[in-house]
Structure 1
Amino acid sequence: MRTTVTTKKAAPAPAGEDTDQLHATPPRGPAPRRTLIALCLVILVLGGFAGWAHARAEALRDAPAARNTALSDTARTSEIKGQSAKAVGALFSYDHADPRALDEAAKEWLTGRAVAQHRNLLGDIRTRAGKQKAVITTTVTDSAVERIDGDRGRVLVYADQSSVSTAGDKKAADDGTYAGAMFALDVERHDGRWLVSAIDTFSR
């Protein structure tokens, strides 16, 4: 495909206005604010996928395979959704004042390769959140069970995530940051409980 480039003579800057100022990069926000945003971004795939996540959840509900799975074992479907919501809230939330809670959540809710995946996703959160005295909260707002195969299943999760800092810039501490997140969990049933065996953030 051939591309034609047309070059136009730049229009003169308005009188009294500095040309350099017209082309200057807009100033960035306060460092604490940017750090809070980074804290959320490090954990999960956010923002632009929120609408797609909701559409995907609706598609799963309408798909014959997903509908049949739910109807064939509604109790198990409800059980997976409920326990997955609790797992997500514990595994992807962090309070700088109680760092051991994340370790306890990992021991309680993770199995298999999800242990290493979770460690990688949350790798530098402790350091950043500690410096910013941040509290990160993740809450499941919607979910859909994609499949159930005996004691294994897969659930699509749509969640809200917030990060609030009590250090540095007061406005950033007051406002915090908020974002939508979507991801999928593979789960396995062990001793009557559904544990997370794999985390899919759709980032590859």
Structure 2
Amino acid sequence: MSTTRHLVNRQRRLATVAAAERTATPPRRTGAPGSEPHRPEAAGDTAVTADPADSPDSGDLSGEPEKEPAAPRGWLPRPTIRLPAVLCALTVLLGVFAVWSFTAAAGLNSDAARSNTALTDISRTSEVKGQISEAVGAVFSYNYAATAKSDQAASTYLVGKAVQQHRDMLAEVRAQAPKQKLVLTTTVTESGVELLDGNRARLLVFADQSNTRTGKSEETTYAAAMFAVDAVRRGGSWRISAIDTFTR
């Protein structure tokens, strides 16, 4: 009798445990295509217990920090270059270059200012302006009936490469003058001394030109000109050594 009651109680306990396990089992999830379906753990399967040594929290519980493994011999750590340090170095270099450039430019300007006496030597400046204005008016005026005067002016006021430059500039006038009976007159209206250094000078010249044809019907045309001339002082007189018409 007691044996029968024992078996009945055991079956009840097993049924209660089975019902509890079914209630605690989570609903079956539908896996993605190709994934392995959930397989309930069968009776007799051995549960895998994680090794405490494999846990990231495991280790020496003494409170001492874990030491990193030592680097192998012959290994050198790679230096790390940080962007702020690079920018700081570039800023310093640019600053040094700017200071050097400013100092060099100031030195050059001061040297040029000391040698250029166009603003300080008033009498010399007036002298070169007057003589070069006269020279320009003479060499850039031409009369078909008095060509010797133009040639004399060129030999008097021109030196260096200005001789050939003047010849090239008046070549067309000389060719057309006899046929059209041309009279070219040049008058300097204003001039300024840009550089005056000893016996050298550079001037900016503004001039008016009139071109008159004295043939059957007299006709006169007017034009304005602007150019620069280099001048040198020889034998007490200023002469034109180069002509710059600002054309390339």
Q: Same fold (TM over 0.5)?
A: yes
The letter for the 1-side match of 2:232 is: E
Describe how 1:116-155 pairs up with structure 2 within 5 A.
116-155=164-203
Determine if the alignment matches structure 1 residue 157 to structure 2 residue 201: no
**How far off its partner does 1:132 sit?**
0.6
Aligned partners of 1:117, 1:70: CA distance in 2, in Å? 26
**How far off its partner does 1:162 sit?**
0.2
Describe how 1:41-52 pairs up with structure 2 within 5 A.
none
Aligned partners of 1:134, 1:114: CA distance in 2, in Å? 23
The C-alpha deviation readout for 1:58-81, integer Å capped at 9, x for no partner, is xxxxxxx6xx73332111110111
The answer to which structure, 1 or 2, has the higher relative contact order (CA under 8 A, 6+ apart) is 1
Give percent identity, aligned residues only.
Answer: 56
Q: Partner of 2:131 in structure 1?
A: 83
The letter for the 2-side match of 1:202 is: F
Determine if the alignment matches structure 1 residue 194 to structure 2 residue 238: yes
- What value does the CA root-mean-square deviation take over the aligned residues? 1.5
The C-alpha deviation readout for 1:136-167, integer Å capped at 9, x for no partner, is 00000000000011100000000000011111
The C-alpha deviation readout for 1:74-114, integer Å capped at 9, x for no partner, is 11110111001110111100011101111101110011111
**How far off its partner does 1:134 sit?**
1.1
Aligned partners of 1:71, 1:149: CA distance in 2, in Å? 11
Aligned partners of 1:201, 1:71: CA distance in 2, in Å? 24
Q: Partner of 2:73 in structure 1?
A: none
Aligned partners of 2:161, 2:189: CA distance in 1, in Å? 25
> Which of these residues, 151, 164, 173, is aligned with residue 103 of structure 1?
151
> Which of these residues, 172, 183, 193, is aligned with residue 227 of structure 2?
183
Aligned partners of 2:126, 2:142: CA distance in 1, in Å? 26
Aligned partners of 1:190, 1:85: CA distance in 2, in Å? 16
Aligned partners of 1:86, 1:186: CA distance in 2, in Å? 14
Aligned partners of 1:200, 1:70: CA distance in 2, in Å? 20
Aligned partners of 1:79, 1:140: CA distance in 2, in Å? 15
The TM-score normalised by the length of structure 1 is 0.63
The TM-score normalised by the length of structure 2 is 0.52
Give the greater-gyration-radius structure (CA): 2
Aligned partners of 1:115, 1:91: CA distance in 2, in Å? 10
Aligned partners of 1:153, 1:70: CA distance in 2, in Å? 9
Aligned partners of 1:120, 1:127: CA distance in 2, in Å? 11
